[in-house]
Amino acid sequence: MNRRIVVGITGASGAAYARRLVQCLVASDVEVHLVCSPLGRRLLNDELGINEPSAESLVGHETERLMIYDHRDVGCRLASGSFLTDGMIICPASTNTMAAIAAGLGDNLIARAAAVTLKERRRLIVVPREMPWTAIDLRNALRVSEAGGIICPASPGFYMGPEKVDDLVDFVVGKLLDLVGVEHQLDVRWDEPRA
């Protein structure tokens, strides 16, 4: 079976992270199952000029490795633990989405797929980008972490000597790929000679 990763895109800023993540997963021959919330779709439009998420608009070419689902379809295969995946990444994740996951809500496909990922003890990575956080946000992040999720804020490091925004995006995406065990060639790891 090919590797399968569910990707959720919600309304926090950071569409560049989402697009690069999908590109890298597809390039690594991963089967990507993508769900965009309504505000995630707006985010793609506002920040990247993408009117409708598609293989062409996100990856640059048609591919069978990218499947896109309706955010409202809580009855589709992503909502079932019997559909085997290698994990889920929500990038970017709004604090609203993190709250829904922390509360165990499943009223949309992103929250439902996250709940399934946790109950099946698969890797769930939540990538919040919003700041600052309230005490409520911190408690929600802790609840998700205690349930088995990984909170991986979109906080790029600068020790790699980034020269452009794409370098910062790759830093975060490389970390996400590492967390789900997907090999990549992004230059994001600490190197002693560089130090």
145-194 pLDDT, tens digit per residue, is 999 999 999 999 898 889 999 999 999 999 999 999 999 999 887 775 55
**140 vs 174: CA distance, rounded Å:** 25
* Full 3-state SS string of 8-67: EECCCCCHHHHHHHHHHHHHCCCEEEEEECHHHHHHHHHHHCCCCCCHHHHCCCCCCCEE
Residue 33 · residue 65 · CB < 8 Å: no
Q: What is the DSSP letter of 102?
A: H
Q: What six digits make up the tokens of 185? A: 């060639």
Q: Is the pTM of this model over 0.85?
A: yes
Q: Where are the domains of the chain?
A: 4-179
Task: Return per-residue pLDDT of the chain as tens, 195 residues.
Answer: 689 999 999 998 999 999 999 999 999 999 999 999 999 999 999 999 999 999 999 999 999 999 999 999 999 999 999 999 999 999 999 999 999 999 999 999 999 999 999 999 999 999 999 999 999 999 999 999 999 999 999 999 898 889 999 999 999 999 999 999 999 999 887 775 555
- In the chain, the percentage of residues whose pLDDT exceeds 70 is 97
Q: Per CATH, is 4-179 categorized as 3.40.462.20?
A: no
* Residue 150, Cβ density class (10 Å: 0-12 exposed, 13-18 middle, ≥19 buried): middle
Tell me which residue of 64, 66, 52, 78 sits closest to 23, measured CA to CA. Answer: 66
Instruction: Collapse the DSSP code of 150 into the 3-class scheme (helix H, G, I; strand E, B; otherwise coil) and give the result.
Output: strand
